[in-house]
Structure 1
Amino acid sequence: MTKRSEAKYKLDRRMGQNIWGRPKSPVNRREYGPGQHGQRRKGKLSDFGVQLRAKQKLKGYYANISERQFHSIYVEASRLKGDTGENLIGLLERRLDAVVYRAKFVSTIFAARQFINHGHVKVNGRKVNISSYQVKIGDVIEVKEASKQLAHVLEASQLPERDTPDYLEVDHGKMTAKYVRIPHLSDVPFPVQMEPHLVVEFYSR
């Protein structure tokens, strides 16, 4: 197991939820936290604790992006018109790694980041190897021709536990996805409840 996978499984257990909806998540077997004190009775979280956990869960879901990067996305969301929580989700879902994951070109969002970094993805015909790249409405994302027959790419498109959302038009035959619109929170197929309003409260303190 890689260091990244270990961190991923720990995050599930720390949150006490199967954040990505994976069949092999350890939370499916053990709902208590990791470590020798994981089974201790938990006290009630303070308002700050609830807000912090919501932030950690959302940040962790998107491949555990850095605090600095996550905060900058929040700042950008707060500058846009409309609800900051909805804007935050919209910006996170515009990340190229999130789009590649949603399109089921790879099995996990962590794999999406690596897949992009290794140069397997094109946007509008041009190679993009930056996972935080912000996709725009109308952009066409595709797997590079030489990478379309990779075993893990073919396997990911057949995964039964998640569907592609309707804000993407995906063609698994051609391994392409068109970004149709920016989604609302209710459009995003999170396996667990995300609470961006608590993230906004955390940063607004």
Structure 2
Amino acid sequence: MTKRTAAKYKIDRRMGENIWGRPKSPVNRREYGPGQHGQRRKQKLSDFGIQLRAKQKLKGYYGDLTEKQFRRIYAEAVRVNGDTGENLIGLLERRLDAVVYRSKFVPTVFAARQFVNHGHVTVNGQKVNIPSYRVKEGDVIEVRDKSKQMALVLEATQSAERDLPEYLNVDHGKLTSTFVRTPGLSDVPYPVMMEPNLVVEYYAKN
């Protein structure tokens, strides 16, 4: 098992939830946390604990971003007009690796980061290999011709595991995805409940 795969499963078990909705998640078999003390009775979380957990879950969902990266995105969400929690979700969903994952070009968000890193994706015809690259409304994201027959791409596009969101216009025949609009929380097909309002409360106090 690769380090990334192990980390992915560890996040699921630490949260006690199948946060990506994948059938192979260990939470489907056992809901207690990892480690020798994982089966202890769960203590009731404090307000701080609930907020921290919401932050860790949202951060982990997007490929376990570093705290520095996530805090920077949050700071930008604060500066933009409107609801900070909704802004945060919009900024996260505009990441190129998130769009590649949402478009079902790859099976996992971890694979999406690697896929972009290795230069398999173009934005408006130009190769972009920065997973955190922020797409804009109207941008066309495409899998490069030489990468369209990769096994993980074929597997992901044929999978019925995830739904395509309405803010993307995806053509799996051409392996293109147009970013139609920036989504809000209710638009994003999270398999579990995300609570960006608690993330905002966490950073407001810390």
TM over 0.5, shorter chain: yes
3-state SS of paired residue (1:10):
helix
Counterpart of 2:193 in structure 1: which amino acid? Q
In the alignment, what sits opposite 1:186?
Answer: 186
In the alignment, what sits opposite 1:169?
169
Q: State the 1:117 CA deviation.
A: 0.3
* Counterpart amino acid of residue 158 in structure 1: Q
Partner of 1:137: 137
1:149 counterpart SS class: coil
CA–CA distance in 1 between the matches of 2:157 and 2:25?
20
CA distance in 1, matches of 2:179, 2:49: 35
Following the alignment from structure 2 to structure 1, what is the Cα–Cα distance between the partners of residues 161 and 121?
A: 23
Query: How far apart, in 2, do the equivalents of 1:117 and 1:91 lie?
Result: 19
Using the size of structure 2 for normalisation, the TM-score is 0.99
Distance 2:33 2:199 in 1: 22
SS of equivalent to 1:44: coil
Counterpart CA distance in 1 for 2:159 and 2:196 is 27
CA distance in 2, matches of 1:43, 1:112: 35
Secondary structure at the residue paired with 1:122? strand
Q: Aligned residue for 1:70?
A: 70
Q: CA deviation at 1:49?
A: 0.4
152-161 or 183-192: bigger deviation:
152-161
1:161 is displaced (CA, Å) by 1.4
Amino acid at match of 2:11: L
Q: Paired residue for 2:15?
A: 15
Size of the aligned set, in residue pairs, is: 205
Question: Which secondary structure does the structure 1 equivalent of 2:138 belong to?
Answer: coil
How far apart are the structure 2 equivalents of 1:67 and 1:109?
A: 17
Tell me, in whole angstroms, the C-alpha distance in 1 between the residues paired with 2:117 and 2:11: 23
Offset at 1:159?
1.2
Which whole-Å CA distance do the structure 2 matches of 1:199 and 1:87 have between them?
A: 12
Deviations 1:34-75 (A, max 9, x none): 111100011110100000000000000000011000000000
Distance 1:128 1:111 in 2: 16
Distance 1:16 1:104 in 2: 25
The DSSP-based 3-state class of the residue aligned with 2:158 is coil
Structure 1 runs not aligned, ≥5 long: none
Secondary structure in 2 matching 1:204? helix
Counterpart CA distance in 1 for 2:66 and 2:97 is 14
Among all aligned residue pairs of Structure 1 and Structure 2, give the percentage whose two residues are the same amino acid. 76
Name the residue aligned to 2:3: 3
